A and B are shown apart, each in its own frame.
Chain A
Amino acid sequence: MAMEIIRIIGNGSEVPDAPVPEGLGGKDLLELYRWLILLRTFDERAVALQRQGRIGTYAIYWGEEGTQAGALYACEETDWVFPSYRQNSIGILRGVNPATIYAWWRGYGGKLGFYNPRDHRTGPICVPIATHLPHAVGVAWAAKQRGDSVASLAWFGDGATSEGDFHEALNFASVWKAPTVFFCVNNQWAISTPYHKQTASQTIAEKASGYNMPGVRVDGFDPVACWKATRDALDRARAGEGPTLIEAYCYRIAPHGTADDPRLYRDESVTERWRPLEPVNRMTGFLQRLGILDEDKEAAIRAEAKELIAASVKEMESYTQPGQEVLFDGVYASGRPWTFDEGLEELRSVERAAEVRPVGPVPASSEQGGDV
């Protein structure tokens, strides 16, 4: 099934830029750029922190910032978004303290490592695959039931489309005409499993037809195209026309995570051919061609992000290991059952071991691993 891929940003030479979509002004483009830089800076710093043993194993999203910032920028503040672990830091664009996300990767829970989804209309970082999709549908159904003009969006990968929860969520949303956007980041790899071993469908987007909803393909390395596809889907959703499946076609340039060594299962020369398409440089070139970004402004935006992230790292490192009560805190909103009091008493009656330094699983190929 041939399907057009929505693309706005060209390559500055033989592929021309398309016109900037309606609804995105110069200020918006710069703000979207600021978001991209912030996400990129967070991610690169996280990898460095892991290498230095200051956080644990980390799921890298380098190269996928456009799918995140572009889609989020299309949302209203009141819309709910549901990240997978690949969008782990998306909350920082919704007011979550970046230090909280770093602390989560540092292995800290409680008030240091968790945020309240309701404060940010941002789901918690979802670790099990595709299981957050029904939550997005439930939020959208509830908003519709309450008469609120609120939509929801969930990000997930190509691997997630194999899960039953993907099917159930799309089916429910479609039957209910729930205002939900299913945003699939098809980076073609689920750890070591390539796209063709994941699905026999030629595209992810074509799966939408089974649910009688639109499926669209978009260049996942093009933040503006991701914005456009998401905005169109949200407009449909808010108009009562139901959900949309977006396939953001791209490539996982980075390893799956800091404990992964892609040289074990794929030809990294292919990865290098994708690398120049990554969204930050493409957006930089696009904004320069539009005449709304110069080197000074770019440097200022990068410096601002660096400063913010550095301050967050510093804040995270000022945190100390949560006390033993954190095991029991918040498990029940209604209060602690008696078993918790006994557990805490038992813990406190013996000497506590010192905090362990974070070490993730050893890379699969330890003689090759250890660097990105």
Chain B
Amino acid sequence: MASLTMVEALNLALHQAMEADDRVVLLGEDVAQTGGVFRVTAGLLDRFGESRIVDTPLAEAGIVGSAIGMSLYGLLPIVEIQFDVFVYPGFEQIVTHAARYAWRSKGESPASIVIRIPYGGGVRAPELHSDSPEALFAHVPGLKVVCPTTPSDARDMLLAAIEDPDPVVFMEPKRIYRAGREEVSEELPFEIGNGHGAPAELLSTARVAREGTDLAIITYGATVPLSVQAADELASDRGIQTKVLDLRSLYPFDIEAICSAASECGRVLVVHEAPRHAGLGAEVSSLIHERVMLDLHAPVMRVTGFDVPFPQFANEDDYLPSVARIKQGANKVLDW
């Protein structure tokens, strides 16, 4: 066991995957010599050499596109996108090819790539370094989209994403990259490199981050710890017991966990950092209303980012869902 931050846990996963399976390669901007701008890939170059960890030219379509070709040849490429919005030049490759290779090969030649995207705000970054583009990918058939929140989930889910035959968009909430440490077992969560893929639950299930029966907050990424904090305050303020559900998998959703949380609590608040319109909160809300509406005591409500460009960082705390806004949203649902 080691006490690791999310960055360290991701780094551990990369070391373990590359050690266990020589088909795993990693490519991206500044990933080798520098070890990545967030240091997620630190140490890999020394350990595995430049034939497996590649500093690429600065071109995301080329990075994602060549990774697709590598996968066709039988490698298991991991792509690092340096910052969220930098994925947009690679968007076409992800949508028209990565997401469709399995389908257009009768399921036989999927693009077995992982696209790691450090995303989200709260790190006082310049313009266009703070977006939350996950809904764009969750809307694309053929992709899996996941987002870990804890260091041990980060490690296990990244290993699973590498092992999974399908393309996985792996959202990394960079605001909580180093927010806390957790004991992470160095033992592998499953056997890797044997061709059997990953246990499905690692890429398709939600996690209960906090138990409760009065209200369910459904969220993912950097707003999970904020929601837990809000829940704690609701308990002391009002004696409300709030369940916090960390979605982890953004496509597919863990529909059982979502519906059972809604049914059990009867009141649901969805929280995310991305803009509200056509965000994942709308999907969660729709699913709950379609399936368990009669178990609800109030409509599902949302606390999200706004439908504006992510602001210059002097105002990012005005944009980001805060504990105060989450509590306000929770109170609206509770008092409806």
Does the CB pair B96–A131 fall under 8 Å?
yes
Kindly state whether residue B263 has any CB partner on chain A within 8 Å: no
Query: Could you say which residues of chain A place their CB within 8 Å of the CB of B74?
Result: 142, 146
Q: How far is the CB of A308 from chain B (nearest CB, A)?
A: 23
Query: Could you say which residues of chain B place their CB within 8 Å of the CB of A119?
Result: 108
Does the CB pair B104–A165 fall under 8 Å?
no
- How would residues 304 to 324 of chain A score, 1 for a CB under 8 Å from any chain B CB and 0 otherwise? 000000000000000000000
Does the CB pair A111–B106 fall under 8 Å?
yes
Kindly state whether residue A95 has any CB partner on chain B within 8 Å: no
Q: How far is the CB of B248 from chain A (nearest CB, A)?
A: 14
Does the CB pair B101–A168 fall under 8 Å?
no
Closest chain B residue to A342 by CB distance? B255
Query: Could you say which residues of chain A place their CB within 8 Å of the CB of B204?
Result: 337
Q: What does DSSP make chain A's interface, helix, strand, loop or mixed?
A: helix
Given contacts A137-B65, A138-B70, A334-B166, contact A175 B57 (CB under 8 A): yes
- Interface-side segment among A25-33, A253-261, A325-333: A325-333
Query: Could you say which residues of chain B place their CB within 8 Å of the CB of A137?
Result: 62, 65-66, 69
Closest chain B residue to A165 by CB distance? B61
Q: How far is the CB of B176 from chain A (nearest CB, A)?
A: 27
Query: Could you say which residues of chain A place their CB within 8 Å of the CB of B252?
Result: 337-339
Closest chain B residue to A332 by CB distance? B166
Does the CB pair B105–A331 fall under 8 Å?
no
Task: Give Cα A140 to B72, complex, Å.
Answer: 10
Q: Which of B71, B73, B96, B200 counts the most chain A CB atoms within 10 A?
A: B73
Contact among A138, A164, A168, A169 with B73 in the assembled complex (CB-CB below 8 Å): A138
Closest chain A residue to B255 by CB distance? A338
Does the CB pair B65–A143 fall under 8 Å?
no
Kindly state whether residue B31 has any CB partner on chain A within 8 Å: no
Q: How far is the CB of B99 from chain A (nearest CB, A)?
A: 9
Contact size range, B: 35 or more
Query: Could you say which residues of chain A place their CB within 8 Å of the CB of B30?
Result: none
Kindly state whether residue A183 has any CB partner on chain B within 8 Å: no
Query: Could you say which residues of chain B place their CB within 8 Å of the CB of A116?
Result: 105-106, 108-109
Does the CB pair B65–A134 fall under 8 Å?
yes
Closest chain A residue to B60 by CB distance? A168
Query: Could you say which residues of chain B place their CB within 8 Å of the CB of A172?
Result: 56-57, 59, 62, 66
Query: Could you say which residues of chain B place their CB within 8 Å of the CB of A110?
Result: 106
Kindly state whether residue B89 has any CB partner on chain A within 8 Å: yes
Kindly state whether residue B68 has any CB partner on chain A within 8 Å: yes
Does the CB pair B62–A330 fall under 8 Å?
no
Does the CB pair B57–A171 fall under 8 Å?
yes
Task: Give Cα A324 to B166, complex, Å.
Answer: 22
Does the CB pair B69–A333 fall under 8 Å?
no
Does the CB pair A164–B61 fall under 8 Å?
yes
Which residues of chain A from 255 to 307 have any CB-CB distance to chain B below 8 Å in the complex? none
Does the CB pair A333–B73 fall under 8 Å?
no
Kindly state whether residue A124 has any CB partner on chain B within 8 Å: yes
Q: How far is the CB of B324 from chain A (nearest CB, A)?
A: 35
Query: Could you say which residues of chain A place their CB within 8 Å of the CB of B141?
Result: 331
Kindly state whether residue A58 has any CB partner on chain B within 8 Å: no
Kindly state whether residue A358 has any CB partner on chain B within 8 Å: no
Kindly state whether residue B97 has any CB partner on chain A within 8 Å: yes
Kindly state whether residue A114 has any CB partner on chain B within 8 Å: yes
Contact among A133, A138, A329 with B72 in the assembled complex (CB-CB below 8 Å): A138
Does the CB pair B89–A164 fall under 8 Å?
yes
Kindly state whether residue A352 has any CB partner on chain B within 8 Å: no
Q: How far is the CB of A156 from chain B (nearest CB, A)?
A: 13
Task: Give Cα A136 to B102, complex, Å.
Answer: 17
Q: How far is the CB of A326 from chain B (nearest CB, A)?
A: 10
Does the CB pair B69–A141 fall under 8 Å?
yes
Does the CB pair A333–B66 fall under 8 Å?
no
Does the CB pair A165–B62 fall under 8 Å?
yes
10 example contacts (A-B, Cβ-Cβ < 8 A) are as follows A124-B101, A127-B96, A131-B61, A135-B97, A141-B70, A165-B92, A168-B62, A171-B57, A172-B57, A331-B141
A residues whose Cβ falls under 8 Å from a Cβ of B: 80, 109-111, 114-119, 123-124, 127-128, 131-143, 145-146, 152, 164-165, 168-169, 171-172, 175, 329-335, 337-339
**Which 6 A-B pairs have CB atoms at the shortest separation, nearest pair first?**
A138-B69, A134-B65, A330-B107, A168-B62, A142-B73, A138-B66
Given A110-B106, A118-B105, A138-B66, 8 new contacts (CB under 8 A): A114-B103, A114-B104, A117-B72, A124-B104, A165-B65, A168-B59, A168-B62, A333-B112
